[in-house]
Chains A and B, each alone.
Chain A
């Protein structure tokens, strides 16, 4: 596996707005996963997108993958204060070794 690089590093928005986070990676992947971490707690798996998929939805989450640009984005629509967390992407090349990127810290103001 390899490290993803997220941007922005931090994002502050109002409740109800959309939040977009981006992830770039370096080599070919089997899939890419997004995780959320609330402060000081374990990570929660949000969504997995396979290399042959371009877009995937799960509730208020929308993930896109552009393998030609080696990038992915996570869109959270109609954000809520409870979405305040750190978000990590995890590009996966098929091995056990997951290297998380630095993450995007999202703060949603009520």
Chain B
């Protein structure tokens, strides 16, 4: 299985709602990532989990709360979002580092298109 799945594909939420995005992979990858991508822009890194521990938080507002319950799952909890948070949210995972070789090739899911009203 070489796939990263993301649910839901589309999400529309109000500014007072609480919702969650889900990401799953069964490739044995031990690093998982959340990116945010606005139209015609490159993906921007939000969070990285390595071995289920938060490794990188790119100064993301607290209304985004990541969670890595196990090595296959990554969640992004959303609360009190703003319209400017509307974007494509991408999840990715990467291979464990091999001895002497750092690749960090990332495998991406199809994304969740989020619209905040």
The residues of A with any CB-CB pair to B shorter than 8 Å are 1, 30-31, 33, 35, 40-45, 48, 88, 92, 94-103, 105
Which of B40, B42, B103 makes the CB contact (< 8 A) with A100?
B42
A103: B residues at CB distance < 8 A: 42
Tell me the bound Cα distance from A99 to B37 in angstroms: 12
Is B108 a contact partner of A98 (Cβ separation < 8 A)?
Answer: no
B20 CB within 8 Å of chain A: no
Task: Choose the segment among B11-19, B48-56, B61-69 that binds chain A (4+ C-beta atoms closer than 8 Å).
Answer: B48-56
Which bucket holds chain B's interface residue count? 20 to 34
Chain B's nearest CB lies how many Å from the CB of A30?
Answer: 5
CB of B106 within 8 A of chain A?
A: yes
Interfacial residues of chain B within 88-110, with CB under 8 A of chain A in the complex: 88, 90, 92, 94, 102-110
How many A-B residue pairs lie within 8 Å, measured between CB atoms? 63
Assuming the contacts A40-B111, A44-B108, asked whether A98 and B45 have C-beta atoms less than 8 A apart, the reply is yes
Contact A96:B103 (CB < 8 A) given known A40-B88, A101-B42, A102-B41: no
Considering only CB atoms, which chain A residue lies closest to B31 in the complex?
Answer: A96
A80 to B109, CA, bound (A): 24
Tell which of B6, B40, B55, B102 touches A30, judged by Cβ atoms closer than 8 Å: B102
